[in-house]
Amino acid sequence: MRRFYRGIVIVLVALRYGLDELVLTSFQKPWLRVVARVVSIGRNLDAPRGQRLREALESLGPIFVKFGQVLSTRRDLLPADIADELAWLQDRVPPFDSKVAIATIERAFRRPVGEIFVQFDETPVASASIAQVHFATIRDPGGAVREVAVKVLRPGMRGVIEKDLELMAMMAAWVEGLSTDAKRLKPREVVAEFDKYLHDELDLVREAANAAQLRRNMSKLELVMIPEMLWDFCHPEVIVMERMKGVPIAQLDRLRAAGVDIPKLARDGVTIFFTQVFRDGFFHADMHPGNIQVSLDPATFGRYISLDFGIIGTLTESDKEYLAQNFAAFFRRDYKRVAELHLESGWVPEGTRIDELEGAIRTVCEPYFDRPLKEISLGMVLMRLFQTSRRFHVEIQPQLVLLQKTLLNIEGLGRQLDPELDLWHTAKPFLEKWMSDQIGPRKLLEQLRAEAPRYAKLLPQLPRLLHDFLENRPADHRRELMELLAAQKRTNRLLQAIIYGGIGFVLGLIAMQVLVRVRLF
């Protein structure tokens, strides 16, 4: 019943703000426009459509605000007036009472706010769907006063989010039960992933830990700055961090006036994204413009400032390798390899014809190469790929949903910064270097270093394990093992001969060079 009532509330809010009329008027059919006029009778719908949509999303709660944030970055898909209005959802959601924020801080740290901070600004500087931020100053252990940002969780968020997630889970179960094709999309697993990330976002200590990890990962890249967390003042409802000073990335005129190289900024954004995804498998998954600033400080001029680490995506080594190989094959236009990778990963059923899948992928992707970002849309490419995947029964991977969302955010941001950006050519060198590192000597050394402790523990036990095996195995198996050991010894002797021969050859060359130099002098 609770989910039923929440569904009714959603419908009532949609009617109150005239979202039904907004949808109907977006169609070109004359009779639908007539229906839109009829359904609007008796309702005050004078406010601009973008404002009505934004206010409706704000009324429905954090999940819908998140949806609006994603939409706000897609100016290629939305009319300008709606995109401009939804941009307010990035960091200008109506704030909650500062007295509630102060009470939350004092409850978290069990001290009056005046004892914690030298100065605390009660007016929030940013307010989003989950939390709001206040500036303050604090005295560090050395006695110096330090500027900080204080992030405070909105009260009552958990209950609101859980109601919406329950409704989404119920609708996902309905969709999966009503359509056999929907099972391929795994709607319930996708909602479960969304559930996990949203609940993670409600724990601000987890966000602080995410920020600390990203800060370590990005420390040597020198393209992005991430605030330091003050761990003595981190609580599930409140975190205190280093105050970052920069210009919001959406203020392009101000950045240009300051001399920031905007096309380079766009390229740097692509590099940061691919580094986090493929090198680290740990990426900022909420990269809308409200969470990104640009430093104008002379020491760090033109660097990104990343904020809000509540939603972080992670990838396993196998996910990273599979995706990198797919991207690299796409950039080489090797559609056959893309099709083979889908089959090898088990994402398409066995028996799928490689040539047919190759042809379908080529049809989708080929028209979009060698074009600047302003002439393509990854959203459109993904949509056409989904249509192709339906034909070939490709299983959607829930763990990649956040990556797809982040990729769309990156494209939307890149489109605003530099419409002439060639996303493929910008990313291709990075991916080729990453693939080279994955199969090169450096990767081998890293794997040997990682496995060394296990080998060191295992080697002393080998004689005992071998003895136990020989004692407990049948005679024929014992004979096979002895033959294998003999073959291994022969191989070892051969390798030793090759190594010693190589060393002798190198020493001979050195000796010859020494003799030549002696004769010259």
Report DSSP letters for 43-112, one per residue: S---S-HHHHHHHHHHHH-HHHHHHHHHHHT-TTTS-HHHHHHHGGGTTBSPPPPHHHHHHHHHHHHTS-
3-state helix, strand, coil in the chain (%, to 5): 65, 10, 25
Lowest mean pLDDT of 35-49, 337-351, 417-431, name the range: 35-49
| 80: in domain | yes
The two three-digit tokens of residue 361, written as one number: 């992928």
430 in the same domain as 290? yes
- Which segment, 16-30, 198-212, 254-268, 342-356, is predicted with the most confidence on average? 254-268
pLDDT at 137 over 90: yes
- Contact by Cβ (8 Å): 262, 255: yes
Q: So what's the pLDDT on residue 295?
A: 96
CA distance 363 to 480: 53
384 in the same domain as 496? no
Q: So what's the pLDDT on residue 86?
A: 78
- Say which residue, 514 or 233, is predicted with more confidence: 233
- Say which residue, 486 or 168, is predicted with more confidence: 168
Q: So what's the pLDDT on residue 75?
A: 59
| 353: in domain | yes
- Which segment, 25-34, 125-134, 236-245, 451-460, is predicted with the most confidence on average? 236-245
Q: So what's the pLDDT on residue 36?
A: 55
pLDDT at 257 over 80: yes
User: Rounded mean pLDDT of 3-16?
Assistant: 73
317 in the same domain as 359? yes
CA distance 121 to 150: 10
- Say which residue, 213 or 407, is predicted with more confidence: 213
Q: So what's the pLDDT on residue 159?
A: 75
Which of 381, 415, 439 corresponds to the end of one domain? 439
| 135: in domain | no
pLDDT at 261 over 70: yes
| 516: in domain | yes
User: Rounded mean pLDDT of 91-117?
Assistant: 90
Which of 390, 417, 439 corresponds to the end of one domain? 439
pLDDT band at 520 (very low <50, low <70, confident <90, very high): very low
- Catalytic positions, please? 286
| 30: in domain | yes
pLDDT at 422 over 60: yes
Which of 89, 121, 139 corresponds to the end of one domain? 89
Q: So what's the pLDDT on residue 170?
A: 73
Q: So what's the pLDDT on residue 516?
A: 47
pLDDT band at 187 (very low <50, low <70, confident <90, very high): low
The two three-digit tokens of residue 66, written as one number: 């998140």
418 in the same domain as 315? yes
User: Rounded mean pLDDT of 417-441?
Assistant: 72
pLDDT at 386 over 70: no
pLDDT at 109 over 60: yes
Q: So what's the pLDDT on residue 474?
A: 57
Range of the domain at 505: 473-520
If one counts the domains in the chain, the total is 4
pLDDT band at 127 (very low <50, low <70, confident <90, very high): confident
310 in the same domain as 166? no
174 in the same domain as 256? no
The strand pairing partners of 152, in sequence order, are: 132, 238
404 in the same domain as 276? yes
Q: So what's the pLDDT on residue 212?
A: 96
167 in the same domain as 283? no
191 in the same domain as 250? no
373 in the same domain as 322? yes
pLDDT at 458 over 70: no
pLDDT at 53 over 60: yes
| 126: in domain | no
| 13: in domain | yes
387 in the same domain as 329? yes
pLDDT at 273 over 50: yes
pLDDT band at 518 (very low <50, low <70, confident <90, very high): very low
| 450: in domain | no
The half-sphere exposure of 334 on its side-chain side, counting CA atoms within 13 A, is 11
Query: Over the chain, what is the mean pLDDT?
Result: 76
pLDDT band at 500 (very low <50, low <70, confident <90, very high): low
Quick one: CA dihedral 500, 505, 510, 512, positive or negative? positive
- Which segment, 174-183, 352-361, 417-426, 452-461, is predicted with the most confidence on average? 352-361
pLDDT at 34 over 70: no
Neighbours of 148 (CB within 10 A): 23
- Contact by Cβ (8 Å): 395, 347: yes
User: Rounded mean pLDDT of 476-496?
Assistant: 59
16 in the same domain as 85? yes
The half-sphere exposure of 166 on its side-chain side, counting CA atoms within 13 A, is 13
- Contact by Cβ (8 Å): 132, 126: yes
